[in-house]
A and B are shown apart, each in its own frame.
Chain A
Amino acid sequence: MTTSLPNDDQLGWLMRAAQSGDSAAYVRLLHDLTPRIRRVIARQRGFVGTEEVEDLLQDVLLSLHAVRATYDPSRPFMPWVLAIVRNRLVDGARRYARSAGREVHIDDADVTFSEPATNPNQEGPGDVEALRRAVGALPDGQRQAIELLKLQQLSLKEAAAVSGSTVGALKVATHRAMVALRKALGTKET
């Protein structure tokens, strides 16, 4: 056998042999057809990747196998193949359009949702110096409550033990301190 691509008659002869059950002829036929079909798919579906081209190629080979009885040995072979290729490409495009319509592409799925766009209600750090001045201007009890609970992040029980106050008094002091700070910094309650 020469290395040149077989012509339509030779391919038709291989298909006739395959219809008779000749596996070797069938393998030869499919190997000869594969690069041609791959080229057609790549040309007509230039926007898809190599993997998708292989998927479409395999779909065509499976379809060709399923309807191999429809090849009439008295007719040209390649028009028969190309009609199947065209049909499977159209079906593939239809499937792609249907699945694409149901899919939502997410480029950057942030698991912790820390990006500013996902936290529209969260306040930024703001003016740190103004905050420090506002905290310093609070009455002693409120300032201590803020320092222990918000800055040192102690629990209410721990803060009560450290300050010698009660949990209830700390809650009240914290609440008042927060109101005073918001007023001083000109922020709205959320």
Chain B
Amino acid sequence: MNTDRLIEHLADRLSPVQPLRTPGFRALVWLGGASAFLGILALSMTSAADVAINGTGIAFVGPQLVAVLTGILAAWAAFRSVIPGYSRMAFIWPLVAGVGWIGTLAIGVPQAQTGAILAPHREWMCVAVIVLSGGPLMAAMWLMLRRGAPLHPSVTAALAALAVGALANVAACVSHPHADNAITLLWHGATIAVLVGVAAVTGRLALTWDVRALRAPVTGAQ
């Protein structure tokens, strides 16, 4: 195929496009939708007794704030990762926040009761909330990310999963009180880790350069 001919072909197929808004703006849009969705979900599942059990102490509120921060930074980094020309340093901040979130939860681990941590019948509900509420959020983010460039598909998908998991984790914590942070760390942390891992592996398949359709008419005409 001749390059000059390809350029003519691309110019013939040119249609006006609206430049994407900045990654920060797009992250805000997604976070707004995600917050509304999770807020409604959490409110519908939370009773006054749950709120009373959770309390407003730093032991409960601290990890939630750091989890929200992790979600915000991960969403922002995911949207940045599909725009060519940005530094990849942004990928580090969600990881730092994630480690901080684990740290805030780990503080409660030494006091935890092993029996309570390993009581699966109690915690599957949390796993279900994170996974099921994360589905629509992930789908929405995937639709938004697809409009970008799949420069680092695995990293982008992993960041998206981290954003979804971190925020869904807050909804699960609010709507389902836990005996201590160790349970949250083990069950929520493991669930999010699995989601991030699956996203990283499948991201390369889900986010691809879609150029074959553009090339086909030119090569077919040869």
Contacts from A to B (Cβ < 8 Å): 18-24, 26-27, 30-31, 34, 54, 57-59, 61-63, 65-73, 75-76, 79-84, 87-88, 91
Partner of A26, one of B14, B147, B209, B215: B14
Check if B7 is an interface residue, CB within 8 A of chain A: yes
Q: Is the interface of A mostly helix, strand, loop or mixed?
A: helix
Which residues from chain A contact B83 at a C-beta distance below 8 Å? 70, 72
Residue pair B11, A63 in contact (C-beta under 8 Å): no
Check if B85 is an interface residue, CB within 8 A of chain A: yes
Residue pair A70, B149 in contact (C-beta under 8 Å): yes
Partner of B3, one of A34, A70, A79, A80: A34
Which residues from chain A contact B151 at a C-beta distance below 8 Å? 83-84, 87
Which residues from chain A contact B18 at a C-beta distance below 8 Å? 19, 69
Residue pair B20, A72 in contact (C-beta under 8 Å): yes
Check if B221 is an interface residue, CB within 8 A of chain A: no
Beyond contacts A21-B16, A63-B149, A87-B151: 7 other A-B pairs, Cβ-Cβ < 8 A, are A26-B14, A30-B7, A58-B3, A61-B6, A65-B13, A67-B148, A83-B151
Known contacts A31-B7, A72-B83; is-contact A23 B149 (Cβ 8 Å): no
Cα distance A59–B10 in the bound complex, in angstroms? 12
Known contacts A30-B7, A76-B85; is-contact A21 B15 (Cβ 8 Å): yes
Q: Is the interface of B mostly helix, strand, loop or mixed?
A: loop
Which residues from chain A contact B16 at a C-beta distance below 8 Å? 19-21
Residue pair B11, A67 in contact (C-beta under 8 Å): no
Which residues from chain B contact A22 at a C-beta distance below 8 Å? 14
Residue pair A70, B82 in contact (C-beta under 8 Å): yes
Residue pair A57, B14 in contact (C-beta under 8 Å): no
Cα distance A58–B5 in the bound complex, in angstroms? 10
Residue pair A27, B11 in contact (C-beta under 8 Å): yes
Residue pair B148, A70 in contact (C-beta under 8 Å): yes
